[in-house]
Structure 1
């Protein structure tokens, strides 16, 4: 079978989805209206895990463009921190540099950069680099002397890679303890009812040049099936925020018929 696309998803067999053929990748240009309505431009992908089909908006940006992970990197920092014992569960207190403290769960839910700087410090730069190398996370580059290396443009990955990372979080397929991976998966739950469960992490940042951008990645479960999604977006004229990402995601999923318990 002729291969059309390669969705690389990290490497070494740990995070590979393999490749997708012409029959299971659909480009969906009509989704642009949901980005525009929320003053965003970017890319979107949805993976139907059962049928291994992709719906993608802005394919070239999705598979070829790399961006810093921003506070989506909190997911990996949390996995490493729990694995190494720097924190033990969502109720563990993280002592920040300004002598205040916040629980891991609170820091994760609020994207508290100060907490994750402290957690990264507790883990240690060499350990962080070990896991970036082992998991082939993006380009694996940690900027020297930068306590927030995940927010600058040294460490980068594609939306395709982040979608693969998200899938591995769900299925607990990392070389971490199962308990650790279950805790992180639970931290991502946002809504759960009898019809569906929606889990995601949405993050937003403003870089040194004043550009506003962010990520939202996660999964929707419905009728015992799971669908994975990722959005990377930039604000048009800096008029959007994290809520715009969430609104865009929910509008797209609603368009696709989610949230009714019928998927």
Structure 2
């Protein structure tokens, strides 16, 4: 009888511990959500449907257009090149930013990919075959471990190490993108300073006298409609503003709207 009571007490204690862990996890993501429906005018002018999230890190506020969609997970597509770069450099799958990935002579989807490239060149050209090679070098077990450690989206990579970010099972929401990018921008991810500095360097999209934009596009056509991304962060002095845009891609021309649309939204919110 005494043993049975002790077992029940132990199970209860373990349950309380688990619940406490879940609560702490929720509290760690309990930033304020501030809806900005007026931003819908920009989407309407561009003729697209989507969501936009701007994370004001200093004030712990997520400024959001379409909060319901901002919580929906989609395939990250080429935005996963950011964590893939971090993981590749940290594990040694990529020697350094000067390592050259040799073009194998096979036809590519884009002519721009049919040449040798460094990592910096590959991320700017969004060269899928190069990043598939990096993922294969990292390996399935190591990649799964890193994706889980980073708490990236649904943390599911399946069994194909060079496909999971393109057509699943990995998915991530716009809100989760900004949380991940906030940690990267603040250098709070579990990587060496050298690795983080390298990825900061290769994601630099624009630099002016008043701000920097680090960013990466993404485009998945694995669903109908397709999903287009532009994610990154703006640095203004000591202030950081991670952001994430995703839109429905109903025609190829919509993809060209991602960056100008997000730039208009960033301007409306006074960040650039």
TM-score interval w.r.t. the shorter chain? Answer: 0.7 to 0.9
Give the one of 33, 37, 46 matched to 1:29. Answer: 37
Query: So what's the TM-score if we normalise by structure 1?
Result: 0.84
8 Å CA contact 1:15–1:168 kept in 2: the answer is no
Query: Contact 2:80/2:165 (CA < 8 Å) preserved in 1?
Result: yes
Give the paired residue count.
243
Structure 2 residue 239 is matched with structure 1 residue 231: no
- Partner SS state of residue 141, structure 1: coil
From the superposition, tell whether residues 191 and 89 of structure 1 become closer, same or farther in structure 2 (CA, over 3 Å): same
Matched, 1:251 2:264: yes
Q: Which of 183, 191, 195 is 1:168 aligned to?
A: 183
The reply to whether residue 215 of structure 1 matches residue 215 of structure 2 is: no
Whether the 8 Å contact between 1:93 and 1:102 is mirrored in structure 2 is yes
**SS of aligned partner of 1:234:** strand
Contact 2:51 2:65 in 1 (8 A): yes
Cα distance in 1 for residues equivalent to 2:230 and 2:25: 22
Q: Is 1:18 aligned to 2:29, yes or no?
A: yes
Q: d(CA) in 2 for partners of 1:216 and 1:98? A: 30
Which sits farther off after the overlay, 84-93 or 180-189?
A: 84-93
Aligned partners of 1:16 and 1:248: how far apart in 2?
Answer: 32
Tell me the residue number matched to 1:186. Answer: 201
Task: Give matches, 1:101-112, under 5 Å.
Answer: 101-112=116-127
- Structure label with greater radius of gyration: 2
When the two chains are superposed, the root-mean-square deviation of aligned CA atoms in Å is: 2.4
Q: Which runs of 5+ in 1 are unaligned?
A: 1-10
Q: Equivalent residues in 2 for 1:111-122 (5 A)? A: 111-122=126-137
* 8 Å CA contact retained: 2:75, 2:220: no
Partners of 1:252 and 1:212 lie apart in 2 by: 21
* Distance across 1 between alignment mates of 2:25 and 2:131: 25
TM-score (norm 2): 0.81
Give the C-alpha shift of residue 144 in structure 1: 2.4
From the two aligned structures, give the one with the greater helix fraction. 2
Q: Give the whole-Å Cα distance in 2 for the aligned partners of 1:200 and 1:146.
A: 24
* 2:58 counterpart residue number: 50
1:131-150 residue pairs with structure 2 within 5 A? 131-145=146-160, 147-150=162-165
- CA–CA separation in structure 2 for the residues paired with 1:96 and 1:57: 41
1:44–1:107 CA distance, 2 compared to 1 (3 A): same
The Cα offsets for residues 1-39 of structure 1, whole Å up to 9 and x where unpaired, read as xxxxxxxxxx9989984313xxx4321111112223333
**3-state SS of 1:203 partner:** strand
